[in-house]
Amino acid sequence: MVKKAKSPVTYAKMKRIVSYFTALIKDKKLGSSHPIYRQMNFLRPENSVPDDDRAAAVCFSNPTEEPQCQVSAADFDYLKVIGTGSFGKVFLATHKEDGRYYAVKVLQKHIILARKEERHVMCEHRVLLKMLNYPFLVKLHFSFQTMDRLYLVLDYACGGELFYHLQREWAFGEPRARFYAAEIASALGYLHSLNIVYRDLKPENVLLDYAGHVVLTDFGLCKEGMTGRGTTRTFCGTPEYLAPEVLQQCEYDRTVDWWGLGAVLHEMFYGLPPFYSADRLEMLRNIISQPLALKPGVSSSARDLLKRLLNKDRAKRLGAKRDLTELQSHPFFSSIQWDELVAKKIPPPFVPSLTGPGDLTNIDSRFTELPVPLSLGACEEYGATFPGFTYINDNILSLSAQSQTCGH
C-alpha cells in the first residue's frame, strides 16, 4: 500500500509546486539539495526520515591518496558540444594518440559544490564503475579531475538521443517502440539486480549507438543499495516522468523505474508523456490523481502494458513482485527473445545514418553550435577536491583491440 502524505494536495499547494518546477525547467532535473526540495516540506508526510542521500557529507580524504592518473584532460582534442546538463556540458573529443572518439562529460566543480551535489556526482561515478560491461549502459573509460572540473570519458553514442528521433518522427510504430522498451527494460533490470534504482528515465537519457541499440546514460540520480523491498523518499527526477509517489514524497522503490518506462513508452506511442498538459499544474495534478486515459491507435497488449506500468499504486504496478521477469512475460514482449536481445542479436529496427565514428548528424544543432572552451585541455590533473574520482578502465586501455560504440 502506498503511503500518502497526511495533508491533501490542494490546488494552492500544487500551484506552488508548479511555480518551482517552472523556474527549474532550465535545470530539467531536481536534485535533492535543490531549494525546491527544502521548500517542499509541506508535501512531506509527518515524521519523515532524513534524506539518506543527504545524511552524510562527502568524505574529504587525504589528496595524496588519489592515484596518479596516466590520462589527463590534455590528452584529448575537444571538438564539439554534444549535450548539456545541470553541471556542465558533454563534448565529442578524440584521444590525441590514437584518434578514438569519446563523449567527455565535463562537470564544473563550483556548480556541484554550490548546490551541494557531491554525493550525486560521486554516485554517478561509482555506478559507472559498477556496470562496465552491460550492453545498453554507457561505458566509462577514464575519469580524472583538474582544479575546476571533473571529466568522465565515455563511449560516444553517435546515434543521438531517442528524444531527437522521436521529435522528428513524432511517434514510433509498435515494433520499434517494443525494441527500445525491451532494451531499456533489460538495462533497468540489470541495474536493479545490482540494487541500483535509476530514477531518471526520460527520452533524453536514452541514446542510440551506431547500430541503433539503446545506450542508457546519466546515472547522477541513481540510488544505490536498494534491495528488492528497499524504499527511499528523495525527491528527484524530471517533472513529466515523475511517478506519483515521488511527486508526493511518499516512500518509493525500484518500481519508479517501471513507471518511467511506462511514461517513455507512452511518449513513443503517442508523441507525448502520459497525463501531459501544457499547463504544468494540471499535468502534475493529473499524474497524482487522474485515471490514465489512452487514445486509440495502439494494440490491446500495448494498452495493457501501459496501464500496468502506469499504475499509480506502486504495489500493484507491473514489476512490483518479480521485477524485470514480470515485464518479460507480458504479451506485448512475447516476440522478444530476451537472451538474443542481451546478446545484441536482434537487429535494431532503425539504423542511424552515419558517415563515421565522429559523425554529428544525429546530434541537435542547438548543442553543436555552442562554443567549446579552449581551456578544457589546458589544465593539469589535480586530485584534491573529489577523492576517488580518478580512474582508468584497464580493460579498455588496450584501445585498439576494442570496438567503439561507433563501430570502429
Could you give the strand order of the β-sheet that contains 160-161, starting from the edge strand earlier in sequence? 160-161, 206-208, 214-216
Closer to ligand ATP at the Cβ: 14 or 104? 104
- Interface residue with ligand ATP among 9, 17, 40, 85 (CB under 6 A) is 85
> Interface with ligand ATP by CB under 6 A: which range of 86-94, 177-185, 296-304, 369-377?
86-94
- Interface residue with ligand ATP among 71, 83, 145, 192 (CB under 6 A) is 83
How crowded is the C-beta side of 392, counted as CA atoms within 13 Å? 11
257 is a contact residue toward ligand ATP (CB under 6 A)? no
> Interface with ligand ATP by CB under 6 A: which range of 15-23, 61-69, 82-90, 171-179?
82-90
Segment 106 to 165, residues that bind ligand ATP, using CB under 6 A: 138, 154-157, 161
Q: How far is the CB of 26 from ligand ATP (least distance, A)?
A: 10
Q: How far is the CB of 365 from ligand ATP (least distance, A)?
A: 13
Closer to ligand ATP at the Cβ: 234 or 286? 234
Q: Which residues of 228-249 are buried (b: 16+ CB within 10 A; e: fewer)?
A: eeebbbbbbbbbbbbbbbbbbb
> Interface with ligand ATP by CB under 6 A: which range of 17-25, 69-77, 84-92, 312-320?
84-92
Q: How far is the CB of 218 from ligand ATP (least distance, A)?
A: 3
Tell me the β-bridge partners of 107: 88, 150
Q: How far is the CB of 330 from ligand ATP (least distance, A)?
A: 28
Closer to ligand ATP at the Cβ: 183 or 204? 204
25 in helix, strand or coil? coil
Segment 18 to 77, residues that bind ligand ATP, using CB under 6 A: 28-29
User: How far, in Å, CA of 401 to CA of 218, rounded?
Assistant: 26
Q: How far is the CB of 163 from ligand ATP (least distance, A)?
A: 8
Q: What is the DSSP letter of 95?
A: E
Closer to ligand ATP at the Cβ: 214 or 250? 214
Q: How far is the CB of 336 from ligand ATP (least distance, A)?
A: 25
383 is a contact residue toward ligand ATP (CB under 6 A)? no
CB within 8 A of 246, min separation 6: which ones? 199, 235, 236, 237, 252, 256
- x/- mask, ligand ATP, residues 332-361, rule CB under 6 A, reads ------------------------------
Closer to ligand ATP at the Cβ: 155 or 323? 155
For the chain, the C-alpha Rg in angstroms (whole number) is 21
> Interface with ligand ATP by CB under 6 A: which range of 11-19, 80-88, 243-251, 369-377?
80-88
Active site residues: 200
Q: How far is CA 379 from the centre of its chain?
A: 29
Q: What is the DSSP letter of 74?
A: G
Q: How far is the CB of 28 from ligand ATP (least distance, A)?
A: 5
Tell me the β-bridge partners of 71: none
Segment 163 to 222, residues that bind ligand ATP, using CB under 6 A: 204-205, 207, 217-218, 220
Nearest to 269 by CA among 243, 299, 290, 228: 299
Q: Are 274 and 264 in contact (CB under 8 A)?
A: no
82 is a contact residue toward ligand ATP (CB under 6 A)? yes
310 is a contact residue toward ligand ATP (CB under 6 A)? no
Collect contacts of 89-95 with beta carbons under 8 A, ≥24 apart. 89/370, 91/372, 91/376, 92/156, 92/358, 92/360, 92/363, 93/153, 94/358, 95/399
Element (H, E) at 88: strand 88-95
Q: How far is the CB of 189 from ligand ATP (least distance, A)?
A: 21
Nearest to 111 by CA among 99, 103, 102, 120: 120
Closer to ligand ATP at the Cβ: 165 or 314? 165
| Ordered DSSP codes for 147-187 | SSEEEEEE---TTEEHHHHHHHHSS--HHHHHHHHHHHHHH
Q: Which residues bind ligand ATP (CB under 6 A)?
A: 28-29, 82-87, 90, 103, 105, 138, 154-157, 161, 204-205, 207, 217-218, 220
